[in-house]
Amino acid sequence: MPPIVSVDSLTKTYGSGFEALKSVSLAIEEGEILALLGPNGAGKTTLISTICGITVPTKGRVTVGGHDILEDYRAARSLIGLVPQEINLEPFERVIDTVRFSRGLFGKAPNDVELDRILDKLSLTDKKTSKIMELSGGMKRRVMIAKALSHEPRILFLDEPTAGVDVELRRDMWETVAELKADGVTIILTTHYIEEAEAIADRVGVINKGEILLVESKAELMAQMGQKELKISLAEPTEAIPYILAEFDLRLSDGGTCLIYTYDRRAERTGITKLLSTLQQTPLELDDIQTQQSSLEDIFVGLVKEQQA
């Protein structure tokens, strides 16, 4: 199946001369949840705005459902729901009215049955006729999603859906996103919370300084995270790893004073017991042992650092 969103060599240089996107290419598959992870100013919002046709690219092309976002804007945009970072609701308006209004903007015929379904999905049924000013922050965020879904788009963009939100509301939002995915909606969200990407994404894209550094399935990243290291400090430095230890995945570091053993933490047998008992048969004397785990955070920080170097 062709990707539902295809971004090809997208460059955005703002009027100030600042290059916010540098030849970004990305294919988004129908039905997936893609998290775009990046620090402040990485270009996440610029990327989303360009895909949604709000920001005009300097170079490159975006198609949504096969429609060019510039040449065939209406067809492309009708497939997209966008929840911006800032909540911009009218305090005196009622929930149902603002959602109806959003649907109308897309030229869709009124359909309160569909809107009721959306409100129900977002646990807003009992707030249907409430004024926006009477809602909590979390409810307002859900109204923003209801508005974005009102014209029945196939793709939903969420720009920092949980920025500044407490842990409980964040989990609520994750559940909502999972339910929307189950409904068949393709979801692209931006975040700088690594745990958010870990919790809900099928794929994670890391973006920094206008460049996509990596797009990988979460399972693949988790497999990398599954690697754990055992750091064995030696009392005396050694020049080489004794032959008897050849069967273990070991490397020497810190000028020969440290042996690093890499193993899969999910494996039934990590081999640590055997390694330590084999170690006793060598002249090496053990001083200290530590374990450390590579996390998505390490991978992310490592990538961003590498780019800065």
Applying CB under 6 A, the residues found at the interface with ligand ATP are: 14, 16, 18, 20, 38, 40-46, 192
Q: Which is nearer to ligand ATP, 41 or 237 (CB)?
A: 41
Q: Which is nearer to ligand ATP, 40 or 277 (CB)?
A: 40
Residue 71's Cβ-count burial label (10 Å; 0-12, 13-18, 19+) is: exposed
Q: Which is nearer to ligand ATP, 45 or 186 (CB)?
A: 45
SS3 151: coil
What residues contact 220, with CB distance under 8 A and at least 6 apart? none
Least separation in angstroms between CB 72 and ligand ATP: 24
Q: How far apart are the first and last CA of the chain?
A: 38
Q: Which is nearer to ligand ATP, 18 or 101 (CB)?
A: 18
Least separation in angstroms between CB 283 and ligand ATP: 54
Least separation in angstroms between CB 80 and ligand ATP: 17
Least separation in angstroms between CB 11 and ligand ATP: 13
Asked whether 154 and 134 are in contact (CB, 8 A), the reply is: no
Asked whether 32 and 185 are in contact (CB, 8 A), the reply is: no
Least separation in angstroms between CB 41 and ligand ATP: 4
Residue 222's Cβ-count burial label (10 Å; 0-12, 13-18, 19+) is: middle
Q: Which is nearer to ligand ATP, 40 or 280 (CB)?
A: 40
Q: E strand or H helix at 164, and its extent?
A: none
Q: Which is nearer to ligand ATP, 44 or 127 (CB)?
A: 44
* Cα–Cα distance for residue pair 100/144, rounded to 1 Å: 12
Least separation in angstroms between CB 43 and ligand ATP: 4
Least separation in angstroms between CB 76 and ligand ATP: 20
Q: Which is nearer to ligand ATP, 44 or 218 (CB)?
A: 44
What Cα–Cα distance (Å) separates residue 201 from each residue in 76, 161, 169, 238? Answer: 24, 13, 17, 44
Backbone phi, psi, residue 62, to 5°: -130, 130
